[in-house]
């Protein structure tokens, strides 16, 4: 089964899927391993790995370490083509469709495609949209693009539909790492209903209740990063994971 099919099946069976984002450039290798091991214990559906700003010399070694430490599917969430690693199971093959910067619309993809073929990595064609979080985030700065206003769902809907017509299989609605405000529920609901594509939501989510709220609004997949990079206690990973699986909780 492909990683994307695994996520879709999880959504169908459990109501949603929970993805943990790890940034190798900001976290020590041993800690990455501990978090990855715990992810397997707590039913995290996939681990995403990537960074938005720098890439350090040991980036690929750390990706390999995460893969060795956990049986959870590993998905690259690339900030640039230099992050493509042979050790991931799949890659979000993204275009930053809310922006108008050709580097992130097509150029990085052209540089990365031959390597992805060589490594035989599963691609998940993804329309990536920045939604205004109310603060200035790294992804806005690095990409040099403006986010979609959070009170303009019709703009987000038009972008998502264009992505669908171009053959993309997933919409990622991103508030940005450390966002002051996550993507609003009303916007998630409208985009998911209008484009009829699975929607991934991330950025600024720090409570399990918010995970469940985004799933109930229509997100298929929820991503949390910062919270677990900062947290000393990883036990609440279980609550975050359970919050993304509302049907599963009812059945057990
Ligand atoms: C960032 O959406 C992800 O690309 C996760 O955001 O780090 O704020 O959880 P946080």
Q: What angle do CA 174, 178, 179 make, to 5 degrees?
A: 55
Residue 252 has pLDDT above 50, yes or no: no
Rounded to the nearest angstrom, the distance between the alpha carbon of 226 and the centre of ligand 1 is 6
Within the chain, what is the greatest distance between any pair of CA atoms? 48
C-alpha span between 187 and 68 (Å, rounded): 38
List of residues 6+ apart from 118 with CB closer than 8 A? none
Tell me what pLDDT residue 249 has.
Answer: 63
Tell me what pLDDT residue 250 has.
Answer: 53
**Does residue 225 line the site of ligand 1, with CB under 6 A?**
yes
The sign of the dihedral angle between the CA atoms of 24, 30, 31, 32 is positive
- Range 203-208 average pLDDT: 97
Rounded to the nearest angstrom, the distance between the alpha carbon of 51 and the centre of ligand 1 is 10
Tell me what pLDDT residue 53 has.
Answer: 73
Render pLDDT for 8-27 as a digit per residue (tens, 0 to 9). 999 999 999 999 999 999 99
Residue of 160, 220, 148 lying closest to 194 (CA atoms) = 160
C-alpha separations of 92 from 35, 41, 45, 83 in Å = 21, 24, 15, 12
Task: Report how far Cα 75 is from the mean position of its chain's Cα atoms.
Answer: 9
Rounded to the nearest angstrom, the distance between the alpha carbon of 136 and the centre of ligand 1 is 14
C-alpha span between 228 and 136 (Å, rounded): 21
């Amino acid at each position: 089964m492909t990683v994307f099919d695994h996520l879709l099946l999880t959504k169908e069976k459990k109501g949603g899927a929970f993805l943990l984002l790890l940034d190798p450039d900001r976290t020590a290798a041993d800690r990455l391993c501990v978090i990855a091991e715990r992810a397997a214990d707590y039913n995290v559906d996939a681990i995403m790995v990537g960074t938005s700003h720098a890439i350090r010399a040991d980036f690929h070694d750390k990706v390999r370490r995460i893969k060795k430490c956990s049986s959870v599917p590993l998905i690259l969430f690339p900030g640039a083509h230099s992050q493509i690693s042979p050790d991931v199971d799949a890659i979000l093959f993204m275009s930053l469709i809310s922006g108008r910067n050709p580097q992130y619309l097509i150029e990085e993809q052209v540089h990365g495609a031959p390597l992805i073929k060589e490594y035989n990595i599963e691609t998940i064609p993804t329309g990536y949209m920045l939604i205004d979080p109310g603060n200035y985030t790294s992804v806005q700065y690095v990409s040099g693009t403006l986010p979609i206003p959070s009170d303009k769902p019709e703009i987000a809907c038009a972008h998502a539909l264009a992505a669908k017509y171009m053959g993309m299989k997933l919409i990622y609605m991103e508030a940005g790492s450390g966002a002051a405000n996550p993507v609003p529920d009303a916007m998630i609901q409208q985009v998911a209903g209008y484009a009829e594509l699975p929607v991934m939501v991330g950025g600024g989510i720090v409570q399990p209740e918010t995970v469940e709220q985004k799933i109930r609004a229509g997100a298929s997949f929820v991503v949390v990063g910062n919270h677990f990079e900062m947290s000393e206690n990883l036990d609440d990973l279980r609550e975050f994971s359970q919050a993304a699986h509302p049907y599963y909780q009812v059945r057990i």
